[in-house]
Amino acid sequence: DRHLLGLKDISDSEIVSILDRAAYWEQQPEKVHRTLAGNFVANMFFENSTRTRFSFEVAEKRLGAEVLNFTAAVSSVQKGESIYDTVRTLESMGIDAGVIRLKPIGVLPELAAKIRVPLINAGDGNNEHPTQALLDLYTMRKHFGSVRGLTVSIIGDILHSRVARSNLWGLTKLGAKVQFCAPPNMRAPELDAPYVSIDEALKADVVMMLRVQLERHTTGLISSAEEYRAQYGLTEERAAKLAPHAIIMHPAPVNRNVEIDDALVEHEKSRIFTQMANGVPIRMAVVERALR
Ligand code: CP
Protein backbone atom coordinates (compact mmCIF):
# COMPACT_ATOMS: atom_id res chain seq x y z
CA ASP A 1 0.00 0.00 0.00
CA ARG A 2 1.64 3.21 -1.15
CA HIS A 3 -0.94 5.46 0.51
CA LEU A 4 -0.11 6.91 3.93
CA LEU A 5 -3.44 7.54 5.64
CA GLY A 6 -2.35 7.22 9.26
CA LEU A 7 -0.08 5.52 11.76
CA LYS A 8 -2.87 3.46 13.34
CA ASP A 9 -2.77 0.94 10.53
CA ILE A 10 0.90 0.73 9.60
CA SER A 11 3.47 -1.57 11.19
CA ASP A 12 6.27 -0.59 13.54
CA SER A 13 8.82 -1.82 10.99
CA GLU A 14 7.34 0.48 8.32
CA ILE A 15 7.57 3.41 10.71
CA VAL A 16 11.21 2.58 11.48
CA SER A 17 12.03 2.29 7.78
CA ILE A 18 10.56 5.78 7.15
CA LEU A 19 12.61 7.20 10.06
CA ASP A 20 15.76 5.49 8.77
CA ARG A 21 15.21 6.80 5.26
CA ALA A 22 14.64 10.32 6.65
CA ALA A 23 17.99 10.02 8.46
CA TYR A 24 19.58 9.11 5.12
CA TRP A 25 18.07 12.19 3.46
CA GLU A 26 19.06 14.45 6.33
CA GLN A 27 22.69 13.37 5.89
CA GLN A 28 22.85 14.10 2.16
CA PRO A 29 24.98 17.20 1.55
CA GLU A 30 23.33 18.09 -1.79
CA LYS A 31 20.07 19.95 -1.50
CA VAL A 32 18.40 18.78 -4.72
CA HIS A 33 18.34 15.22 -6.12
CA ARG A 34 16.88 13.64 -9.25
CA THR A 35 15.23 10.74 -7.39
CA LEU A 36 11.69 11.72 -8.42
CA ALA A 37 12.49 13.59 -11.64
CA GLY A 38 9.54 13.39 -14.02
CA ASN A 39 7.00 12.72 -11.26
CA PHE A 40 4.20 15.20 -10.62
CA VAL A 41 3.04 15.62 -7.02
CA ALA A 42 -0.03 17.69 -6.10
CA ASN A 43 -0.32 19.29 -2.67
CA MET A 44 -4.08 19.59 -2.10
CA PHE A 45 -4.91 21.66 0.94
CA PHE A 46 -8.60 22.01 1.75
CA GLU A 47 -7.62 23.42 5.15
CA ASN A 48 -5.00 26.05 6.02
CA SER A 49 -1.37 25.16 6.65
CA THR A 50 2.08 26.72 6.78
CA ARG A 51 4.49 24.02 8.02
CA THR A 52 3.01 20.92 6.45
CA ARG A 53 2.34 22.52 3.08
CA PHE A 54 5.72 24.16 2.69
CA SER A 55 7.76 21.28 4.07
CA PHE A 56 6.04 18.90 1.63
CA GLU A 57 6.84 21.36 -1.15
CA VAL A 58 10.48 21.65 -0.07
CA ALA A 59 10.70 17.84 0.26
CA GLU A 60 9.21 17.26 -3.21
CA LYS A 61 11.50 19.87 -4.81
CA ARG A 62 14.55 18.41 -3.06
CA LEU A 63 13.64 15.03 -4.61
CA GLY A 64 13.42 16.63 -8.05
CA ALA A 65 9.64 16.20 -8.46
CA GLU A 66 7.36 18.60 -10.32
CA VAL A 67 5.12 20.28 -7.74
CA LEU A 68 1.51 21.47 -8.14
CA ASN A 69 -0.03 23.45 -5.31
CA PHE A 70 -3.79 23.39 -4.96
CA THR A 71 -5.38 25.74 -2.44
CA ALA A 72 -9.12 25.38 -1.86
CA ALA A 73 -9.61 29.09 -1.19
CA VAL A 74 -8.75 30.06 -4.79
CA SER A 75 -10.21 26.98 -6.52
CA SER A 76 -13.55 25.78 -7.88
CA VAL A 77 -14.29 24.38 -4.41
CA GLN A 78 -15.63 27.91 -3.93
CA LYS A 79 -18.19 27.10 -6.67
CA GLY A 80 -19.28 23.97 -4.81
CA GLU A 81 -16.99 21.37 -6.40
CA SER A 82 -16.52 18.36 -4.12
CA ILE A 83 -13.27 17.02 -2.68
CA TYR A 84 -13.68 13.84 -4.76
CA ASP A 85 -14.23 15.74 -8.02
CA THR A 86 -11.24 17.96 -7.27
CA VAL A 87 -8.90 15.03 -6.64
CA ARG A 88 -10.27 13.14 -9.69
CA THR A 89 -9.65 16.27 -11.78
CA LEU A 90 -6.00 16.44 -10.77
CA GLU A 91 -5.65 12.68 -11.23
CA SER A 92 -7.05 12.94 -14.76
CA MET A 93 -4.36 15.51 -15.57
CA GLY A 94 -1.65 12.99 -14.74
CA ILE A 95 -0.43 13.59 -11.20
CA ASP A 96 1.57 10.68 -9.77
CA ALA A 97 0.83 11.28 -6.06
CA GLY A 98 -1.28 13.58 -3.93
CA VAL A 99 -0.72 15.12 -0.53
CA ILE A 100 -4.05 16.04 0.99
CA ARG A 101 -5.34 17.96 4.02
CA LEU A 102 -9.06 17.86 4.79
CA LYS A 103 -11.46 19.04 7.44
CA PRO A 104 -13.93 16.13 7.44
CA ILE A 105 -12.89 12.79 8.90
CA GLY A 106 -13.74 9.50 7.21
CA VAL A 107 -13.44 10.94 3.67
CA LEU A 108 -9.81 9.97 3.08
CA PRO A 109 -10.20 6.14 3.13
CA GLU A 110 -13.10 6.46 0.63
CA LEU A 111 -10.99 8.69 -1.61
CA ALA A 112 -7.99 6.36 -1.39
CA ALA A 113 -10.19 3.43 -2.45
CA LYS A 114 -11.38 5.29 -5.57
CA ILE A 115 -8.24 7.17 -6.63
CA ARG A 116 -5.44 5.26 -8.37
CA VAL A 117 -2.51 7.47 -7.35
CA PRO A 118 -1.05 7.21 -3.83
CA LEU A 119 -2.43 9.70 -1.32
CA ILE A 120 -0.58 11.03 1.70
CA ASN A 121 -2.59 12.36 4.65
CA ALA A 122 -1.41 15.86 5.59
CA GLY A 123 -4.01 16.04 8.40
CA ASP A 124 -7.68 15.05 8.36
CA GLY A 125 -9.92 16.73 10.92
CA ASN A 126 -9.09 15.45 14.39
CA ASN A 127 -8.33 11.95 13.05
CA GLU A 128 -4.65 11.66 12.05
CA HIS A 129 -1.62 13.72 11.07
CA PRO A 130 0.85 10.93 10.31
CA THR A 131 3.75 12.98 8.95
CA GLN A 132 3.62 15.25 12.02
CA ALA A 133 3.88 12.21 14.32
CA LEU A 134 6.67 10.75 12.18
CA LEU A 135 8.69 13.96 12.47
CA ASP A 136 7.97 13.98 16.21
CA LEU A 137 9.18 10.36 16.54
CA TYR A 138 12.24 11.26 14.48
CA THR A 139 12.98 14.26 16.72
CA MET A 140 12.70 12.10 19.87
CA ARG A 141 14.78 9.27 18.42
CA LYS A 142 17.47 11.72 17.41
CA HIS A 143 17.62 13.32 20.86
CA PHE A 144 17.37 10.19 23.02
CA GLY A 145 18.84 7.57 20.65
CA SER A 146 15.65 5.49 20.92
CA VAL A 147 11.95 6.01 21.46
CA ARG A 148 11.54 2.73 23.36
CA GLY A 149 11.03 3.25 27.11
CA LEU A 150 10.39 7.01 26.91
CA THR A 151 7.49 8.56 28.81
CA VAL A 152 5.75 11.19 26.68
CA SER A 153 3.18 13.59 28.15
CA ILE A 154 0.81 15.10 25.58
CA ILE A 155 -0.79 18.12 27.18
CA GLY A 156 -3.79 20.20 26.11
CA ASP A 157 -6.61 19.99 23.60
CA ILE A 158 -6.56 16.19 23.06
CA LEU A 159 -10.20 16.19 21.91
CA HIS A 160 -9.47 18.16 18.73
CA SER A 161 -5.96 16.88 18.14
CA ARG A 162 -5.00 14.67 15.20
CA VAL A 163 -1.39 15.15 16.37
CA ALA A 164 -2.19 13.49 19.71
CA ARG A 165 -3.88 10.56 17.96
CA SER A 166 -1.11 9.89 15.43
CA ASN A 167 1.53 10.27 18.14
CA LEU A 168 -0.34 7.87 20.42
CA TRP A 169 -0.38 5.17 17.70
CA GLY A 170 3.21 5.78 16.58
CA LEU A 171 4.78 6.12 20.02
CA THR A 172 2.99 3.05 21.37
CA LYS A 173 4.14 0.97 18.39
CA LEU A 174 7.74 2.00 19.00
CA GLY A 175 7.58 1.12 22.72
CA ALA A 176 7.08 4.52 24.40
CA LYS A 177 4.58 5.19 27.19
CA VAL A 178 2.04 7.92 26.37
CA GLN A 179 0.07 9.84 28.97
CA PHE A 180 -2.37 12.69 28.43
CA CYS A 181 -3.08 15.79 30.52
CA ALA A 182 -6.15 17.86 29.62
CA PRO A 183 -9.09 19.73 31.09
CA PRO A 184 -12.13 17.42 31.39
CA ASN A 185 -13.87 19.06 28.41
CA MET A 186 -10.86 18.55 26.08
CA ARG A 187 -10.41 14.82 26.70
CA ALA A 188 -10.99 11.95 24.27
CA PRO A 189 -12.15 8.99 26.40
CA GLU A 190 -12.06 6.58 23.45
CA LEU A 191 -8.27 6.81 23.28
CA ASP A 192 -6.32 4.25 25.26
CA ALA A 193 -3.97 6.39 27.38
CA PRO A 194 -4.15 7.46 31.04
CA TYR A 195 -4.85 11.07 32.10
CA VAL A 196 -2.47 12.53 34.68
CA SER A 197 -2.24 15.84 36.56
CA ILE A 198 -0.08 18.64 35.18
CA ASP A 199 2.48 18.07 37.98
CA GLU A 200 2.73 14.38 37.06
CA ALA A 201 2.91 15.22 33.35
CA LEU A 202 5.97 17.43 33.95
CA LYS A 203 8.00 14.41 35.16
CA ALA A 204 8.09 12.90 31.65
CA ASP A 205 11.05 12.66 29.26
CA VAL A 206 9.08 14.56 26.59
CA VAL A 207 6.51 17.24 27.28
CA MET A 208 4.47 17.78 24.13
CA MET A 209 2.21 20.82 24.31
CA LEU A 210 -0.80 21.10 22.00
CA ARG A 211 -2.33 24.22 20.55
CA VAL A 212 -5.75 25.14 21.92
CA GLN A 213 -7.66 24.79 18.61
CA LEU A 214 -10.08 27.66 18.99
CA GLU A 215 -11.24 27.30 15.36
CA ARG A 216 -12.57 23.78 16.11
CA HIS A 217 -14.38 24.75 19.33
CA THR A 218 -18.13 24.96 18.85
CA THR A 219 -18.74 26.49 22.25
CA GLY A 220 -16.36 28.30 24.57
CA LEU A 221 -14.31 25.40 25.95
CA ILE A 222 -11.97 27.79 27.70
CA SER A 223 -13.13 30.67 29.85
CA SER A 224 -10.01 32.72 29.20
CA ALA A 225 -6.47 32.35 27.92
CA GLU A 226 -5.13 33.39 31.34
CA GLU A 227 -7.17 30.74 33.11
CA TYR A 228 -6.04 28.03 30.66
CA ARG A 229 -2.39 29.10 31.02
CA ALA A 230 -2.67 29.02 34.81
CA GLN A 231 -4.10 25.50 34.86
CA TYR A 232 -2.55 23.71 31.85
CA GLY A 233 0.01 26.03 30.27
CA LEU A 234 3.74 25.31 30.21
CA THR A 235 4.78 28.39 32.16
CA GLU A 236 8.39 29.31 32.90
CA GLU A 237 7.77 28.26 36.51
CA ARG A 238 6.57 24.80 35.42
CA ALA A 239 9.39 24.40 32.89
CA ALA A 240 11.90 24.90 35.72
CA LYS A 241 10.62 21.63 37.23
CA LEU A 242 11.34 19.52 34.12
CA ALA A 243 13.99 16.80 34.33
CA PRO A 244 17.44 17.92 33.15
CA HIS A 245 17.28 15.60 30.12
CA ALA A 246 13.63 16.42 29.23
CA ILE A 247 12.64 18.17 26.01
CA ILE A 248 9.71 20.42 25.12
CA MET A 249 7.81 19.84 21.88
CA HIS A 250 4.85 21.51 20.15
CA PRO A 251 3.59 20.84 16.60
CA ALA A 252 2.96 24.60 16.07
CA PRO A 253 1.46 27.02 15.30
CA VAL A 254 1.88 28.16 18.89
CA ASN A 255 -0.48 30.33 20.92
CA ARG A 256 2.25 32.13 22.84
CA ASN A 257 1.40 32.70 26.52
CA VAL A 258 -1.62 30.37 26.31
CA GLU A 259 -0.38 26.75 26.16
CA ILE A 260 3.30 27.73 26.29
CA ASP A 261 5.10 30.82 27.57
CA ASP A 262 6.72 33.08 25.02
CA ALA A 263 10.18 32.61 26.61
CA LEU A 264 9.97 28.81 26.27
CA VAL A 265 9.36 28.62 22.51
CA GLU A 266 13.10 29.01 21.83
CA HIS A 267 14.30 27.72 25.21
CA GLU A 268 17.32 25.35 25.17
CA LYS A 269 14.96 22.49 25.97
CA SER A 270 12.57 23.36 23.16
CA ARG A 271 12.72 21.31 19.96
CA ILE A 272 9.90 23.25 18.25
CA PHE A 273 11.98 24.61 15.35
CA THR A 274 13.98 21.36 15.16
CA GLN A 275 10.66 19.56 14.66
CA MET A 276 9.94 21.85 11.70
CA ALA A 277 13.40 21.21 10.22
CA ASN A 278 12.93 17.44 10.65
CA GLY A 279 9.64 17.67 8.76
CA VAL A 280 11.55 18.03 5.49
CA PRO A 281 13.57 14.73 5.53
CA ILE A 282 10.52 12.91 6.95
CA ARG A 283 8.36 14.15 4.06
CA MET A 284 11.12 13.29 1.57
CA ALA A 285 11.01 9.71 2.90
CA VAL A 286 7.20 9.59 2.79
CA VAL A 287 6.86 11.01 -0.75
CA GLU A 288 9.63 8.74 -2.02
CA ARG A 289 7.86 5.75 -0.40
CA ALA A 290 4.63 6.68 -2.21
CA LEU A 291 6.35 6.82 -5.59
CA ARG A 292 9.08 4.22 -5.38
N1 CP B 1 2.05 21.44 12.57
C2 CP B 1 1.26 21.69 11.50
O3 CP B 1 0.59 20.81 10.93
O4 CP B 1 1.29 23.00 11.10
P5 CP B 1 0.48 23.62 9.85
O6 CP B 1 -0.99 23.52 10.19
O7 CP B 1 0.96 25.02 9.70
O8 CP B 1 0.78 22.76 8.67
CATH of domain 12-129+276-291: 3.40.50.1370
Task: Output the residue whose Cα is nearest ligand 1's atom 3.
Answer: 52
51 is in an annotated binding site: yes
pTM for the model stands at 0.97
52 is in an annotated binding site: yes
Dist. CA 168–CA 164, nearest whole Å: 6
Closest among 7, 289, 22, 266 to 141, alpha carbons compared: 22
Helix (H) or strand (E) holding 229: helix 225-232
Looking at domain 130-271, its CATH architecture is 3-Layer(aba) Sandwich (3.40)
Q: Are 236 and 264 in contact (CB under 8 A)?
A: yes
Q: How far is the CA of 276 from the centre of ligand 1 (A)?
A: 9
Q: How far is the CA of 50 from the centre of ligand 1 (A)?
A: 6
Helix (H, G, I), strand (E, B) or coil at 48: coil
Q: Is 254 in the pocket of ligand 1 (CB under 6 A)?
A: no
Please give the angle made by the CA atoms of 236, 227 and 256, to the nearest 5 degrees: 50
Angle, nearest 10°, between helix axes 272-291 and 12-27?
A: 110
> pLDDT per position in the chain (292 positions), as tens?
799 999 999 999 999 999 999 999 999 999 999 999 999 999 999 999 999 999 999 999 999 999 999 999 889 999 999 999 999 999 999 999 999 999 999 999 999 999 999 999 999 999 999 999 999 999 999 999 999 999 999 999 999 999 999 999 999 999 999 999 999 999 999 999 999 999 999 999 999 999 987 666 666 667 788 999 999 999 999 999 999 999 999 999 999 999 999 999 999 999 999 999 999 999 999 999 999 8
Cis previous bond, 253, omega within 30: yes
Domain borders along the chain are 12-129+276-291, 130-271
Cα→Cα distances 260→54, 168, 231, 247, Å: 24, 21, 12, 13
**Do 12-129+276-291 and 130-271 have matching folds?**
yes
